[in-house]
Amino acid sequence: AQSVTQLGSHVSVSEGALVLLRCNYSSSVPPYLFWYVQYPNQGLQLLLKYTSAATLVKGINGFEAEFKKSETSFHLTKPSAHMSDAAEYFCAVSGLYSSASKIIFGSGTRLSIRP
């Protein structure tokens, strides 16, 4: 069964610094992978998705993620953090299930931005 692990429940960076949020997955075959962002008291918003095309995926708000099969990773990055990036980020994986209707979410990483 698929699973996804987000390393670090809380990440804090300075404004203008690199943002790196880590996500590792376990899957017997390359899955579909997603990153979502959640602002306080709001629903989740899709940032980007990997569906077996280009391994470097660009998303909204300047974020991108790289699929590395050898490392089973799909880390999210942004070159320069902005105060508005402060939010909860979820990595998710879709793969081979008995039901093809679900995706599995990681436990989330809270990103804080220091002025």
Partner 1 sequence: SQTIHQWPATLVQPVGSPLSLECTVEGTSNPNLYWYRQAAGRGLQLLFYSVGIGQISSEVPQNLSASRPQDRQFILSSKKLLLSDSGFYLCAWSVPPPGGQAFSYEQYFGPGTRLTVT
The Cα–Cα gap between 42 and 57 comes to 24
Instruction: Give the tokens for residue 46.
Output: 């899709």
The residues pairing with 110 across neighbouring beta strands, listed in sequence order, are 10, 88
Show the binding pattern over residues 24-63: x = contacts partner 1 (CB under 8 A), - = does not.
-------xx-x-x----xxxxxx--x-x------------
Shortest distance in whole angstroms from residue 106 CB to partner 1: 7
Residue 34 or residue 63: which is nearer to partner 1 going by CB?
34
Say how many residues make up the chain. Answer: 115
CB of 3 to partner 1, least distance (A): 13
Question: Considering Cα of 87, then 53, then 58, then 11, what sign does the dihedral take?
Answer: positive
- Measured from the CB atom, the residue of 38 and 77 that comes closer to partner 1 is 38
